[in-house]
Amino acid sequence: MKWITRERPKIDRIACPWLIKRFIDNEAEFIYVPFKEVIARSQELNAIPFDVPDVEFTHYNDKCTFDYFLEKYKLKDPSLQVMAPIVRGADTDAHHLASQASGLWAISAGLAHNTKDDYELLEKGMLIYDALYSWAKYHQNEKHTQNPVEYLLLEIYNKYLHQKKGSQKKIPDWVIELKEIIQDQIDINLSLSLKGVSKELNVHPAYLSREFSKHFDDLTFGDYIRKLRIEKAIKLLESGNHSLSQIAYLTGFSDQSHFTRIFKKHTGQNPSDYKKSIVKSKINTKG
Task: State pLDDT tens for residues 61-77.
Answer: 999 999 999 999 999 99
Give the Cα separation of 66 and 57 in Å (integer): 9
Is the domain of 19 the same as that of 66?
yes
Q: Percentage of residues in the chain with pLDDT exceeding 90?
A: 48
Question: Among 94, 118, 139, where does a domain finish?
Answer: 139
Give the Cα separation of 287 and 279 in Å (integer): 12
Residue 35 counted as domain residue: yes
**Beta-bridge mates of residue 30:** 3
Residue 85 counted as domain residue: yes
Phi (first) and psi of residue 283, to 5 degrees: -65, -45
Give the Cα separation of 231 and 277 in Å (integer): 17
The answer to whether 275 touches 247, Cβ cutoff 8 Å, is no
Question: Among 139, 161, 192, where does a domain finish?
Answer: 139
Residue 201 counted as domain residue: yes
Q: 23 or 236: whose pLDDT is higher?
A: 23
Task: Identify the domain containing residue 126 by its residue range.
Answer: 2-139
Is the domain of 93 the same as that of 27?
yes
The model's pTM: 0.54
Over residues 261-283, the pLDDT tens digits come to 888 888 888 988 888 887 677 66
The answer to whether 135 touches 98, Cβ cutoff 8 Å, is no
Mean pLDDT, to the nearest integer, of 196-210?
77
The CATH number of whichever domain residue 188 belongs to comes to: 1.10.10.60
Residue 165 counted as domain residue: no
Is the domain of 135 the same as that of 250?
no
Pairing of strands 29-33, 2-6: parallel
In 121-152, which positions are buried (b, 16+ CB within 10 angstroms) versus exposed (e)?
Answer: bbeebbebbeebbebbeeeeeeeeeeeeeeee
232, pLDDT greater than 80: yes
Residue 81 counted as domain residue: yes
Is the domain of 115 the same as that of 213?
no
Is the domain of 186 the same as that of 245?
yes
Is the domain of 129 the same as that of 252?
no
Residue 163 counted as domain residue: no
Is the domain of 108 the same as that of 193?
no
pLDDT number for residue 276? 84
Give the Cα separation of 2 and 28 in Å (integer): 6
Residue 228 counted as domain residue: yes
Over residues 208-221, the pLDDT tens digits come to 788 878 887 888 87
Number of Cβ within 10 Å of residue 77's Cβ equals 14
Give the Cα separation of 189 and 96 in Å (integer): 27
Residue 156 counted as domain residue: no
Q: Which of 129, 140, 138 is nearest to 66 (CA)?
A: 129
Question: Among 139, 163, 183, where does a domain finish?
Answer: 139
197, pLDDT greater than 90: no
Sequence letter at residue 65: T
Is the domain of 65 the same as that of 193?
no
Alpha helices (H) in 64-172, listed in sequence order:
65-72, 78-92, 101-114, 118-134, 148-168
The answer to whether 261 touches 252, Cβ cutoff 8 Å, is no
Q: List the Cα angle 210/211/214 in 5-degree steps.
A: 125
Render 149-195 in DSSP notation, one character per residue. HHHHHHHHHHHHHHHHHHHH-PPPHHHHHHHHHHHHHTTTT----HH
Is the domain of 130 the same as that of 25?
yes
Structural domain count, the chain: 2
Is the domain of 126 the same as that of 255?
no
Is the domain of 35 the same as that of 98?
yes
